[in-house]
Amino acid sequence: MDISAAGGTSIAPAARALDVIGADLTERSLRRYLEGIAGVDAVGLEARAEALGTRSIKTTSKAWALDRIIALTDLTTLEGADTPGKVRSLVAKARVPDPDDLSTPQVAAVCVYGDMVPYALQALGGAHAGSTTAGSGGINIAAVATAFPSGRASRAVKLADTAEAVAAGADEIDMVIDRGAFLSGRYGEVFDEIVAVKEACRRDDGTYAHLKVILETGELNTYDNVRRASWLAILAGGDFIKTSTGKVAPAATLPVTLSMLEVVRDWHRLTGEKIGVKPAGGIRTSKAAIKYLVTVAETVGEEWLQPDLFRFGASSLLNDVILQRQKLASGHYSGSSYVTID
């Protein structure tokens, strides 16, 4: 529905927002809630992120960390030149990341454009998380939608984009918010769109594809905006909050991800509900990824280090993790009891 940014018009209901804000869920009450959130201490946030990023871990812990990174990865191809063959190659790598070591974990998901979902589904076969043989141990299919990456399309087009991907077999939808509307203060419009996309994730059997809400933090300019957008996405029904499309610089950064994790921590304390976080774009090395694992564990707890609650969105990260895993197995780090990750 159309929302007046200045008025008190009621907005589309979302159970979370009703529980937190109350029955009087309007543009005005939503704005009052979001603008009442405490500002971010940027200096303190960046200092904490830097401190977390200079931790060291034992070599034995690194072996676990490398496997965990793989198991938390959304292996991604999101190029205009994507073809069915490229998607099949991506799926093959997702299923067997290291053909020389079959103990290597599978990735959490493959992430593709909506029209590539049928090819990913066919290539996964029994390894698909939705198959009866793989079950919860299988690989999910994530599809970007809502006119990714720009989000510049009518709501009808965005909803059709989402529904088509879900109907084709997508387990997860990665949507983009309307950054123009958000930065203009039209919070109710952004809220309504997330609610509508969430409903478009509904399958015929009444279940829902998981919804990851991409904030595109590189365009939000301030940590305050990142925090406010994170709260807005969660209130509207997002299952995950995601930093970036990977098409805008800067993409994921440790301070921004830390800020989003703090929102998830505060939401859990407020409601008992666990929301996922997905940093995406720019995380290319195992050293960088381990910093994120440490930040997650120290901010929301190690229980978040599982695919339902944390993901890496990456296309090249897996290559480095496999290389480091091979070095570790060959005894490359045997002379040191600790491995620095700074």
Contact assessment for residue 106 and residue 121, using Cβ atoms and an 8 Å cutoff:
no
Catalytically annotated residue among 198, 212, 278, 291: 278
Instruction: Determine whether 190 is exposed, middle or buried from the number of CB atoms within 10 Å of its CB (0-12, 13-18, 19+).
Output: buried
Which of 195, 207, 265 has its CA nearest to residue 235? 195
Distances (CA, A) of 47 to 42, 199, 253, 258, 319: 8, 39, 13, 11, 30
Catalytically annotated residue among 158, 198, 212, 242: 242
Structure tokens at 132: 């009866």
**Catalytic site includes residue 242:** yes
Here the contacts of 158-164 (C-beta below 8 Å, separation 24 or greater) are 158/193, 158/197, 159/196, 159/197, 159/200, 161/114, 162/197, 162/200, 162/201, 163/200, 164/114
Element (H, E) at 48: helix 42-52
- Check residue 202 and report its DSSP letter: B
Catalytically annotated residue among 98, 171, 174, 192: 174
**Catalytic site includes residue 274:** no
Peptide bond into 97 cis (omega under 30): no
169 Rama class: left (phi>0) / alpha (psi -120 to 50) / beta: left
Which of 77, 87, 125, 146 has its CA nearest to residue 318? 77
Distances (CA, A) of 165 to 120, 141, 143, 146, 218: 12, 10, 7, 10, 26
What whole-number distance in Å separates Cα of residue 30 and Cα of residue 74? 32
Residue 2: CB atoms within 10 Å: 7
Contact assessment for residue 75 and residue 318, using Cβ atoms and an 8 Å cutoff:
yes
**Catalytic site includes residue 93:** no
What whole-number distance in Å separates Cα of residue 215 and Cα of residue 261? 14
Residues assigned a catalytic role: 174, 242, 278
